[in-house]
Amino acid sequence: MYKLPISAVGVWERWQGNQFFPRVIDISCPHCRRELVTFTTLPCWNDHRYFWNANPSCPACKGIVNFWMLTKGQRDTPEMAKEATDIYMNPDPMSSMGYDKQIDEISPDFGIIYRQTVQAEMSGLDTLVGIGYRKAIEFLLKDWVISENPDERDKIAKMNLMDCVKNYIQDPSLKNGFERIVWLGNDETHYERVWKEKDIDDLKGLLDATLYKLQCEIKLKSLPETMPYKKI
């Protein structure tokens, strides 16, 4: 179960007993992965004596999300409510990030950076999200290239990321994807944007597509080991 940052509560409102309750929660949907979806939670809170529960649906995909609220004090003002309230949600948005576990095996650091970036995004820290995805893809790309060329580890580790793409990635689709992820990722870290018509959603879409292609490449390449030939 995922504990929400209290900043995800967009509006607090007086409700039963004149206590303040979350009226809306802004968080990424764990079903469709849209960022900062507004879930309407009042008047959906149900009293279960020791906790409160609400089950609103995503306005985008209609998927049901379960919220649990635990309280530990009076909530006479929005400020008091923030201090006295813990909110949890299920499904855990961190468990639906859309890539295969083999990616984590190749690059554990990618998984750590990627998850922290998703958490930043769900908490509304939008200025940091592009930087996080750019860093994540650098770790993934270099770790993967190093796994394919272990004797050149030191050279690859010090290499400019775009040179790494040009020199080591042969598959045209993967090369196209990684090149453009680097372009858009660099825009997220620089003062002037080159691709002004593109935004963070374009970067995330490219990252998803390229991850899918890379996963296919890894699975197909591992077939001789995972399914060796058997004479029938």
Q: Which two three-digit tokens encode residue 188?
A: 């997220």
- Residues making up the chain, counted from first to last: 232
CA distance 7 to 78: 12
Q: Could you read off the pLDDT of 66-96 as tens digits, one per residue?
A: 999 999 989 999 999 999 999 999 887 665 5
The yes-or-no verdict on residue 231 having pLDDT over 80 is no
Estimate the crossing angle of helix 126-148 against helix 172-189, to 10 degrees: 140
The yes-or-no verdict on residue 136 having pLDDT over 80 is yes
Q: Give the residue-averaged pLDDT of 211-230.
A: 85
Estimate the crossing angle of helix 172-189 against helix 200-221, to 10 degrees: 150
Give the β-pairing of 66-71 and 9-14: unpaired
CA distance 189 to 127: 10
CA distance 218 to 224: 12
| DSSP assignment letter at 45 | -
Query: What confidence tier does 35 reach under pLDDT thresholds 50, 70, 90?
Result: low
Who wins on pLDDT, 151 or 204? Answer: 151
Minimum mean pLDDT range among 48-57, 90-99, 220-229? 90-99
Q: Given this model, what pLDDT does residue 160 score?
A: 93
CA distance 211 to 194: 24
Query: What confidence tier does 98 reach under pLDDT thresholds 50, 70, 90?
Result: low
For the chain, what are the domain ranges? 2-95, 101-222
CA distance 193 to 201: 15
Q: Which residues contact 178 (CB under 8 A, 6 or more apart)?
A: 137, 141, 165, 169, 210
CA distance 207 to 220: 20
CA distance 56 to 6: 18
